[in-house]
Structure formats: structure tokens, C-alpha cells
Amino acid sequence: MKFASKLAPLLALAPVALGAGAGASTTSESESAATGSAVDKIVFENVGFTGYYYDVESYTDITSEDCVCKLSPTFTVFEGANAPLNEELSVHLRGPISLKSFGYYVTDDLSSGTWDRLAYYDSESQNATNVTFLKNGGDFSPCAGYALTYLSANGSGTASESTVLESNNLIESDQEYTILSASKCGESSALGDCGFYREGIPAFHGFYGSTKMFLFEFEMPEATDDTNTTHNMPAIWFLNAKIPRTSQYNANTSCSCWASGCGELDIFEVLNSSKPLQLDSTIHDYQGTGDIETGLEASDYFTRDTSGTMKGGVVFTSDRKITVFMDSDMSIDESIDASDVSNWISDASSEGTKSLSSVTMNTSTSTASSSSSSKKSDAAAVGSSGLLFSVMTLGLLGFLYL
Ligand SMILES: *[C@@H]1O[C@H](CO)[C@@H](O)[C@H](O)[C@H]1NC(C)=O
Ligand SMILES: *[C@@H]1O[C@H](CO)[C@@H](O)[C@H](O)[C@H]1NC(C)=O
Ligand SMILES: *[C@@H]1O[C@H](CO)[C@@H](O)[C@H](O)[C@H]1NC(C)=O
Ligand SMILES: *[C@@H]1O[C@H](CO)[C@@H](O)[C@H](O)[C@H]1NC(C)=O
Ligand SMILES: *[C@@H]1O[C@H](CO)[C@@H](O)[C@H](O)[C@H]1NC(C)=O
Ligand SMILES: *[C@@H]1O[C@H](CO)[C@@H](O)[C@H](O)[C@H]1NC(C)=O
Ligand SMILES: *[C@@H]1O[C@H](CO)[C@@H](O)[C@H](O)[C@H]1NC(C)=O
């Protein structure tokens, strides 16, 4: 998911734009889709590394032409299994898509335990528990894009208060929305529970856990609209929840933590409009790549069924695996035995794997990586402490000059 700018032309001006620029998705998106085989399961292995990214620190004159987004001069360190995707995530859906049901789960002990559903949406019963539907439809900012606001029941407009997505919720090409929990963020602040976020937005927590699971029952019918932007390119993906709360589609890559690598996972995404039946899975962070735009794409893919309901999801486990799967037997129950999850995963008749490289921060003269409990490290201290390896590897050089 090239999640960034709808204002791509401006990006050319951004001195820090990486690679092709974060905004390549403006018109008919055409990216390199996976060239492997159709599978029922894709396993990302060895996921998680010690690294860091830059949070947004402030916005000035946000809705004016002179708006400025400023990144924090200190960076946020992450580490552990599945990092940085072990942080709170937001859920994103792009049309044509209709959401039948959604569940978010956590577990204490995968091997013997159960998965407990902490958030749920069911279109038919209209049960919406611990979910908030949001859209980039609020105030416009030339640098940070549209602010987050509540989504209307039909999935394509805005609302003045939290509204349950109605059962007939098919959205067209290029329409998209976000799901966060119903757990409200405290004050916007670098040290707050949600970090800094854009003023005036309905701010909610993402879905936490280094082990967690998301299940979806959905349809991705053939587009009937005449949109020529991301036409017939549906997707389900996740972002570090700080991204939508600051700026998801920005003209300036400094307007969110995305470009410095706070994390994105695409699970079912049409990447190339000429391959509309191919759903790709990709991690966008710096674990073994300096090209966050392209990210770490699995070479196999899922097949999009345009006429029926698809059931699938993603499981993040403590063994540093992120397993994306489709299984028609899956069901989004209140509590799920770990053995059932294992069965859905092992039912797959075909699978693809993508093993991420082991990226280690050079900590020979640094204590930065072991101080993650405080999350914030002093940039000056870390800068002087032998991080050259990671700076080069993570491709963050440009960001040092912000
Ligand atoms: C992007 O934001 C950074 C940080 O505020 C600023 O230095 C830079 O000039 C901005 N770029 C553009 C193109 O506005
Ligand atoms: C998209 O797919 C078409 C047809 O297979 C191919 O010619 C084109 O190169 C692809 N685009 C990219 C960017 O890979
Ligand atoms: C919705 O689901 C929750 C459990 O996730 C359950 O406790 C509640 O009774 C359900 N509400 C309705 C109206 O079915
Ligand atoms: C969806 O709902 C919004 C807000 O209520 C409304 O403005 C819009 O016209 C609706 N769209 C469709 C296609 O019905
Ligand atoms: C709702 O989800 C959030 C985010 O993961 C979680 O922290 C919270 O405990 C959940 N609330 C309930 C009532 O389960
Ligand atoms: C895409 O649609 C817009 C608005 O309908 C139109 O102005 C534009 O010419 C179209 N572009 C292409 C490449 O068809
Ligand atoms: C780690 O950094 C130290 C000090 O800058 C350097 O001497 C050493 O070669 C580096 N090790 C690796 C594996 O890059």
C-alpha cells in the first residue's frame, strides 16, 4: 500500500522524499505485483528488529499554505518480536470492498491458550464493540492532508459522531476508511498514551499487541464505478496507529512517522491494476531494506474472489512470525481456541514464505537498544554512539537533517 500522498507533485519538492517519493499512488497505481504463485497462506518469518523512527512533534499553521510539520529531534526506539508492528495498529480498507465482519484478538499464551476477542464488528447484527470507523475527511491541510473524522454509516461520507457501518456498506474504488478501537486517547503529547496527534481529531487507540490477530469476512467485487484512481484495486492493510492520527496522506513525508519506518503491513492488496485478481502481502519498514516505498513484499499472493465472500486474516505470534491466511472455515467467534487458529493456518494447501533479514543495531558503544522501556532516546546520545551501521542500513540518512 503506497499509503502516502494524494498530492504527489508536491513531493518532488520535498528534500527528504525517499526513493520514488511517498506519493506514487496518485493516479492509476501500478506497482510490481508479486510474480510467484497463488497460495492460501503467506508467512513472514524473523519479523522484528531493534530500530527507531521519528514521531511528529508539532504542526504549525496546519490548514494554511505555510503549514509546517515538524518531526521530533529525538527518536523513538522499538524492539522485540514483530517490531515495529508490535506497536498499536490501525486497520484500513479500500474499495471496492464490503465488510461483513471483523474481529481483533489477543492471547496470553498461544500454545495452550485461547484468543479473546477485544474488538468486533458484524454487519448483519450491527454489533460494533470497541471499534470506531473513521475517514480522512476532516479539515484539509496542504502539508498533512485531510484530518481524521468519523465515517458515515454507508462507508463513504463523514459523520459528526461515531457511527456504526451499516450492513450494506460496499464502497467504490479509491474510497477508504480506517478502524481504530473505541478506547479514547489521552491528551496529544509526545509523552501521552497516543503520542502527539493532530488537533481536533477524534483520537482513539489502535489495536495493541506483539501477539495479536485480526480476522475479516469481506467481499471485493469487481468495480462498477468509473474512478480512474486506484480503480478496482481493493485492499486491507494496517498502519502504525500514529500515522492516521497525524497524517496518512501527506504532501511532506515529515508529516507522519511512516517514512522513518514506524510500520505498515498490507495483507490483501491489489498492487497492479493489470492484475486485479491478485492480492499481495507486504511489510513496509526498514528490516533489511532501505526502500520503504517498495517494502518487503512476499513473492506469492492470494486470489481475489470477486463473486463470493472471502474469509481471512493475520496472526502475529511471539515466534516472530506474521502469518496471513485465507480459510473459508474460519469464524469470528468471541473466543477461539489456539488449536483452531493453528488448524486454519495449517489447513492451507499452499503457502509462501518471506524471511526477513536479521538486522541488528550496532550497539557496541551504545545502550540505546536496551533502553526501550523509556521509548525515547536522546538523539544526541545515540547519534554519538556507533549507530552508523543502522543509519546506513535503515536508509534514514535524510532524516538526520530534519
Ligand atoms: C517538510 O517538512 C520539513 C520539516 O518541517 C521542512 O523542513 C521541509 O521544508 C518541508 N518540505 C516541504 C516541501 O514543505
Ligand atoms: C503491472 O503488470 C503489467 C502486466 O503484467 C506489467 O506489464 C507491468 O510492468 C506491471 N507494472 C509494474 C510496475 O510492475
Ligand atoms: C456484541 O458482541 C459482544 C461481544 O463481543 C456481546 O457481549 C454483545 O452482547 C453483542 N451485542 C449484541 C447486540 O449482539
Ligand atoms: C453516504 O453518506 C453520506 C453522509 O451521510 C452522504 O453524503 C452520501 O451521499 C452517501 N453516499 C451514498 C453513495 O449514498
Ligand atoms: C479495545 O481495544 C483496545 C485497543 O487494543 C484495548 O486496549 C482495550 O482494552 C479494548 N477494550 C475492551 C473493553 O476490550
Ligand atoms: C480521470 O478522471 C478525471 C475526472 O473524471 C478526468 O478528468 C481525467 O481525464 C481522467 N484521467 C484519465 C487518465 O482517464
Ligand atoms: C560497530 O561500531 C563500532 C564503533 O563505531 C565499530 O568499530 C564496529 O566495527 C561496528 N561493528 C559493526 C558490526 O558494524
Question: H helices of 21-113, where?
Answer: none
Element (H or E) spanning 338, and its range?
helix 338-346
* Predicted local distance difference test score (pLDDT) of residue 353: 86
Give the per-residue pLDDT at 23.
29
Q: Which residue has the cell 554519538?
A: 384
Name the residue among 249, 185, 245, 319 with its Cα closest to residue 55.
245
Cα angle 240, 274, 310; round to 5: 55
The bound ligand whose nearest atom lies closest to the alpha carbon of 121 is: 3
Q: Find the 362 Cα to ligand 7 centroid distance in Å.
A: 6
- The pTM (predicted TM-score) of the whole model is 0.85
State the pLDDT at residue 367.
36
Q: Are 151 and 177 in contact (CB under 8 A)?
A: yes
Predicted local confidence at residue 376, as pLDDT: 35
Q: Are strands 56-60 and 68-71 parallel, antiparallel or unpaired?
A: antiparallel
Q: Which residues touch 269 (CB under 8 Å, ≥6 apart)? A: 1, 233, 234, 235, 236, 237, 279, 280, 281, 282
Using alpha carbons, select from 270, 272, 229 the residue that is nearest to residue 32.
Answer: 272
| pLDDT at res. 251 | 81
- CB 281 within 8 Å of CB 324: yes
pLDDT, tens digit only, all 402 positions of the chain: 444 333 222 222 222 222 222 222 333 345 789 999 999 999 999 999 999 999 999 999 999 999 999 999 999 999 999 999 999 999 999 999 999 999 999 997 655 689 999 999 999 999 999 999 999 999 999 999 999 999 999 999 999 999 999 999 999 999 999 999 999 999 999 999 999 999 999 999 999 999 999 999 999 999 999 999 999 999 999 999 999 999 999 888 889 999 999 999 999 999 999 999 999 999 999 999 999 999 999 999 999 999 999 999 999 999 999 999 999 999 999 999 999 999 998 877 788 888 888 876 644 433 333 323 333 333 322 332 333 333 333 333 333 333
The amino acid occupying position 87 is E
Q: Residue 292 has what DSSP assignment?
A: T
Which of 85, 181, 210, 211 most suits a substitution to test ligand 5, by most atoms within 8 Å of the C-beta? 181
The C-alpha atoms of residue 208 and residue 231 are separated, in whole angstroms, by: 32
243: amino acid identity, one letter: I
Atom of ligand 4 nearest to the CA of 153: 2
Enumerate residues lining ligand 7, CB below 6 A.
362, 364-365, 386, 389
8-state DSSP, 340: H
pLDDT score of 373? 30
Best residue among 108, 205, 212 to mutate for probing ligand 5's pocket (most ligand atoms within 8 Å of CB) is 205
C-alpha–C-alpha distance, residues 327 and 348, integer Å: 7
